[in-house]
Amino acid sequence: MARTISEAQIREVVSQVLNNVQSAPEASFDSTQYAGRKFIGIFNDMNDAIAAASEGYKAVRAMSVEEREKIITEIRRLTREEAHIMAKIGVKETGMGRVDHKKAKHILVADKTPGTEDITSFAKTGDNGLTLVEMAPFGVVGSITPSTNPSETVICNSIGMIAAGNGVVFNPHPNAIATSNYAIDLVNRASKAMGGPEILVCSMKKPTLESASIMQSHPAIRLLVCTGGPGVVRAVLSSGKKAIGAGAGNPPVIVDDTADIKKAAKDIIDGCTFDNNLPCIAEKEVFAFRNIADELISNMLKNGAYLIDSAQASRLADIVLVEVTDKKGNKKKTVNRECVGRDAAVILSKIGVQVSGDIRCIICETDFMHPFVQEELMMPILPIVRVDNIDEAIDLAVKAEHGNRHTAHMHSKNVDNLSRFAKAVETTIFVKNAPSYAGIGFGGEGHATFTIAGPTGEGITSARSFTRQRRCVLSENFRII
Ligand code: NAD
């Protein structure tokens, strides 16, 4: 006798199959394909990649704004749909960050990165006629991207750069090349699906410093956009080309005695542990008024923090910071890549402390000169320095930011204190009474970016940052009044 299957049973089976598909082991890290799908736009040679990106640029130039926007809409759709895949490959390939948070970062990029609406023109009329200012593309942009937000940065930059009418060639971080190239292929798939060129953006199979250097000196590259640490930002700024530099930060947080301490503790731990502290905007050190520090720490402990003592902090410092010798033979401390973006439990286990997965942040009390305060660790370790008053808090927080002018945070209800710190620290992003990620549009107003250009001044980059102004003057005519 034939058995009938109800609609509910079919749904159940389909859902189980989908779940299995989603949790299937990832294909091994290959910068040219994913699960048998060959990536589009990946080259062995930077010169070939630039030639292909130049063709992509010609195709974009020939498109209407509406056609560009259709491709961007498809990039957004695919990004939402494949966010979990990129999040999983990103964590597996780099060993850094958290899948759920990386997924949220991709959705943020899809939803809040401005598109062509960001490009506006300007007209000036007067006795002498009309002058029109339009925002034009540069041409082919060379983009260097980090390992900390690899596919997020590729997609965010691609949306803005394509919206502005540019072609793009990427030299992604070698440690995140499979993840980055997945995103580059996604952009090309979106282009092809919407009738655009098959290769709109390009990348390298094996990016190196040499391929970055070819990119920096190639005549077809009209704009360099570099998202990364101080070394690479210095390199592109000395290239002789127009460059946008999005560099390192070391965001301090001040908590004064007017703050809602419970909320401040939760916000700081939420921000500091987002993607295991990889975002450059994430809270890196706290300056807490002495009279509320105990309450702040006890509320942090209720929100997934684990307090270590000063002896444990010293042992941990010897593990998470390692001594290296630079090219000039000078010895200096640098972060241990094996610890960057790792879970708090993994880092604690290195000093013999075993904790459950509920622990998401390691906190400790330190003095100002402690390396946890001074170095940009990019891991869920948060030093807390007690201060006597707002003068001391601002003085130390500004020093800890090291003049990066990147990001700073404050929890306070005292408008004078908030304004004083904002003015003194001069950062591109200043977040008041919220987790750090509110500063890039996650639970805060304003658009999202993963390229925050402090050193060169574009700030929270968007499509218009990747344009150049052009003026057209018509003398004595075209006024309608
Ligand atoms: P990184 O500096 O190690 O690498 C960034 C990129 O630069 C990579 O693609 C790398 O291969 C390349 N590179 C490094 N030195 C180079 C050189 N001399 N010439 C050419 N290319 C070079 O960065 P990372 O560790 O992946 O990222 C973390 C750093 O980036 C942190 O300092 C973080 O604050 C910063 N960051 C800043 C932003 C921002 O928007 N301001 C965003 C993300 C990361």
Looking at domain 252-450, which of 3.40.50.150, 3.30.420.40, 3.40.309.10, 3.40.50.300 is its CATH number? 3.40.309.10
CA of 15 to the centre of ligand 1 (A): 40
Q: Which of 280, 404, 452, 456 most suits a substitution to test ligand 1, by most atoms within 8 Å of the C-beta?
A: 280
pLDDT at 480: 87
Q: Tokens in use for 379?
A: 């891991």
Query: Tens of pLDDT along the chain (481 residues)?
Result: 344 445 444 444 434 433 333 333 444 589 999 999 999 999 999 999 999 999 999 999 999 999 999 999 999 999 999 999 999 999 999 999 999 999 999 999 999 999 999 999 999 999 999 999 999 999 999 999 999 999 999 999 999 999 999 999 999 999 999 999 999 999 999 999 999 999 999 999 999 999 999 999 999 999 999 999 999 999 999 999 999 999 999 999 999 999 999 999 999 999 999 999 999 999 999 999 999 999 999 999 999 999 999 999 999 999 999 999 888 888 888 999 999 999 999 999 999 999 998 999 999 999 999 999 999 999 999 999 999 999 999 999 999 999 999 999 999 999 999 999 999 999 999 999 999 999 999 999 999 999 999 999 999 999 999 999 999 999 988 888 8
pLDDT at 327: 80
| Nearest atom within ligand 1 for CA of residue 207 | 11
| Nearest atom within ligand 1 for CA of residue 216 | 20
pLDDT at 328: 85
How many CB atoms are closer than 10 A to CB 388?
Answer: 10
pLDDT at 28: 58
Strands 37-38 and 33-34: antiparallel
Edge to edge, the sheet with strand 429-432 lists: 305-308, 361-365, 381-387, 285-289, 252-255, 407-411, 429-432
| Nearest atom within ligand 1 for CA of residue 228 | 30
Q: Alpha-carbon torsion 80, 85, 88, 93, what sign? A: negative
pLDDT at 19: 36
Nearest CA to ligand 1 atom 8: 173
CA of 456 to the centre of ligand 1 (A): 15
Nearest CA to ligand 1 atom 30: 228
Which residues lie closer than 8 Å to 156 by C-beta, 6 or more apart?
109, 113, 448, 449, 450, 451
Q: Which of 31, 147, 215, 456 most suits a substitution to test ligand 1, by most atoms within 8 Å of the C-beta?
A: 147
Nearest CA to ligand 1 atom 3: 229
Which residues lie closer than 8 Å to 242 by C-beta, 6 or more apart?
138, 222, 223, 224
CA of 231 to the centre of ligand 1 (A): 7
Nearest CA to ligand 1 atom 15: 232
Edge to edge, the sheet with strand 42-43 lists: 42-43, 201-204, 167-171, 140-144, 221-227, 243-246
Q: Alpha-carbon torsion 50, 56, 62, 66, what sign? A: negative
Residue 323's identity, in one-letter code, is: E
CA of 128 to the centre of ligand 1 (A): 49
CA of 381 to the centre of ligand 1 (A): 21
Domain ranges within the chain, ordered by starting residue: 7-247+458-471, 252-450
CA of 424 to the centre of ligand 1 (A): 27
CA of 175 to the centre of ligand 1 (A): 11
pLDDT at 240: 93
Which residues lie closer than 8 Å to 278 by C-beta, 6 or more apart?
96, 97, 148, 149, 340, 341, 378
Q: Which fold has domain 7-247+458-471?
A: Aldehyde Dehydrogenase; Chain A, domain 1 (3.40.605)
Ligand 1 first shell, C-beta below 6 A? 144-149, 172-174, 209, 212, 227-229, 231-232, 235, 246-249, 280, 376, 450-452
CA distance 343 to 362: 10
pTM summary value: 0.92
| Nearest atom within ligand 1 for CA of residue 449 | 40
| Nearest atom within ligand 1 for CA of residue 454 | 41
CA of 160 to the centre of ligand 1 (A): 19
